[in-house]
């Protein structure tokens, strides 16, 4: 158990809908990262937060947004969903930016 909790584990929704994925980092970790992993694809970096502030952005679509709250949990919002958004979404956390990251078990999103 990495100590990073992601909910829900599975999500099935229709095209055009909006969903929110939630991540609770390890206790005390200030950095949160979001990644997308499509079938047989590598981990694509979406966005990073550090202590509530956006720190780095990858190829995150404009339909996607995220935030980190004062209690350090983070949410990833995906809107106007398309079939191609079906993927595993991982959250990771780290104590500082130059230390190892601990990953949650992911949320498997299926858009039908």
Partner 1 sequence: SQKIEQNSEALNIQEGKTATLTCNYTNYSPAYLQWYRQDPGRGPVFLLLIRENEKEKRKERLKVTFDTTLKQSLFHITASQPADSATYLCALRNYGQNFVFGPGTRLSVLP
CB atoms within 10 A of CB 95: 15
Instruction: Find the part of the chain contacting partner 1 (CB under 8 A) among 15-23, 62-70, 71-79, 97-105.
Output: 97-105
First and final C-alpha spacing in the chain = 31
Of residues 15 and 41, the one with the C-beta less far from partner 1: 41
Do the Cβ atoms of 78 and 70 come closer than 8 Å? no
Candidates 27, 62, 70, 98: give the one binding partner 1 (CB under 8 A).
98
Q: How far is the CB of 16 from partner 1 (least distance, A)?
A: 27
x-or-dash string of contact with partner 1, 39-58, rule CB under 8 A: ---xx-x--x-------xxx
Q: Which residues contact 8 (CB under 8 A, 6 or more apart)?
A: 21, 107
d(CA 10, CA 27): 24
Which region, judged by CB under 8 A, interacts with partner 1, from 10-18, 22-30, 61-69, 84-92?
84-92
Nearest residue (CB) to partner 1, 33 versus 64: 33
CA angle 108, 105, 28 (to 5 degrees): 130
User: What is the binding site for partner 1 (CB under 8 A)?
Assistant: 2, 4, 33, 35, 42-43, 45, 48, 56-58, 88, 90, 92, 97-106, 108
């Amino acid at each position: 158990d990495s100590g990073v909790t992601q909910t829900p584990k599975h999500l099935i929704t229709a095209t055009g809908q909006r969903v929110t994925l939630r991540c609770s980092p390890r206790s005390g970790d200030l950095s949160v990262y979001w990644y997308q992993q499509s079938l047989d694809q590598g981990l694509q970096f979406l966005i990073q937060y550090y202590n509530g502030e956006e720190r780095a952005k990858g190829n995150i679509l404009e339909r996607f947004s995220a935030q980190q709250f004062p209690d350090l949990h983070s949410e990833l919002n995906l809107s106007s969903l398309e079939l191609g958004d079906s993927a595993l979404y991982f959250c990771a956390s780290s104590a500082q930016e130059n230390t190892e990251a601990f990953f949650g078990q992911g949320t498997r999103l299926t858009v039908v």
